[in-house]
Amino acid sequence: MAIKNECIFCKFVTNEIKVDCIYENDNFFAFLDANPKVKGHTLVIPKKHYVNSMDLPDSLGIELLDAIKNVADYHFKDKSVEGFNIVQNNFPTAGQVVMHAHFHFLPRRKGDGFNMTK
């Protein structure tokens, strides 16, 4: 399990490692994924270190949804985007690799070749 001081996502939030932020509010930060599944694949992360969504306080729910909606607005400026998926993995068995809660925002385009079931 990652320790906060060693967490790469925490280093993005503190600007210790530079990433291009596409959205930020008081408690969340969004940036393009380094290994995108589709064009525009974005990660939305809490600024504080929480291991997974089970650790996120309920009080952040509205602000998280607002962050996701703002990321959607950002991507819908590209007229080829026709929809999106939100994916969130909790614990290694479910595919969580970085032990800092994060939400995958996947902008979808007709014929993008991405299949959620594979």
- What CATH number is attached to the domain comprising 15? 3.30.428.10
Q: Is residue 54 part of a domain?
A: yes
Instruction: Answer yes or no: is pLDDT of 80 > 50.
Output: yes
DSSP bridge partners of 103: 44
Q: Is residue 30 part of a domain?
A: yes
Using an 8 Å Cβ cutoff, are 108 and 114 in contact? yes
Q: Is residue 73 part of a domain?
A: yes
Q: Name the residues annotated as catalytic.
A: 102
Q: Domain total for the chain? A: 1
**Stated pTM of the model:** 0.92
- Split at pLDDT 50, 70, 90, the class of 4 is low
Instruction: Answer yes or no: is pLDDT of 1 > 50.
Output: no
Q: Is residue 92 part of a domain?
A: no
Q: Is residue 59 part of a domain?
A: yes
Q: For the chain, give the mean pLDDT.
A: 94
